[in-house]
């Protein structure tokens, strides 16, 4: 049995397959996922699991060099923005319009759906290297 923190089979496999500058997305329960993008649905019920818990779990195994967030998170969900910044204090953030973020999901290896029920709780993680 796997000992490390990401024990979801599909999520662990996606993380293991990531290379430098590949994208992985994590989001709230309402984010539309483009056809053709793998969706790993972790949502059980409202707010379970929450966005930050899933993000924290992924960050335990994925090296991240940059993140992409919707501009709208600044005004519509500043609490979530602060939680993201607390988890990734040294990581560059690029803000894009929410419509662009939704389109960019088509470029990600997978979209991880959480049970999060707060607006604009969506992120694209750009993988870094560990050497």
Q: Give the chain's domains with CATH numbers.
A: 21-127 (3.40.1650.10)
pLDDT in tens, 78-128: 999 999 999 999 999 999 999 999 999 999 999 999 999 999 999 999 999
* pLDDT tier for residue 1 given thresholds of 50, 70 and 90: low
Q: What is the pLDDT of residue 87?
A: 98
Q: State yes or no: 51 annotated in a binding site.
A: no
CB 64 within 8 A of CB 55: no
pLDDT in tens, 27-41: 999 999 999 999 999
Catalytic position from the list 7, 20, 44, 94: 20
User: 10 catalytic, yes or no?
Assistant: no
Q: State yes or no: 28 annotated in a binding site.
A: yes
pTM of the model: 0.97
Cα 91 to Cα 106: distance, rounded to the nearest angstrom: 23
């Amino acid at each position: 049995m796997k000992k490390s923190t990401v024990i979801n089979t599909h999520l662990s496999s996606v993380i293991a397959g990531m290379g430098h500058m590949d994208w992985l997305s994590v989001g709230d329960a309402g984010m539309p996922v483009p056809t053709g993008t793998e969706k790993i649905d972790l949502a059980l019920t409202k707010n379970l699991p929450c966005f930050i818990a899933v993000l924290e779990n992924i960050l335990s195994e994925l090296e991240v060099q940059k993140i992409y967030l919707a501009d709208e998170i600044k005004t519509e969900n500043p609490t979530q923005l602060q939680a993201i910044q607390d988890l990734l204090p040294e990581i560059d953030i690029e803000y894009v319009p929410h419509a662009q973020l939704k389109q960019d999901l088509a470029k990600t290896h997978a979209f991880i759906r959480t049970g999060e029920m707060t607006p604009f709780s969506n992120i694209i993680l750009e993988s870094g290297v560990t050497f």
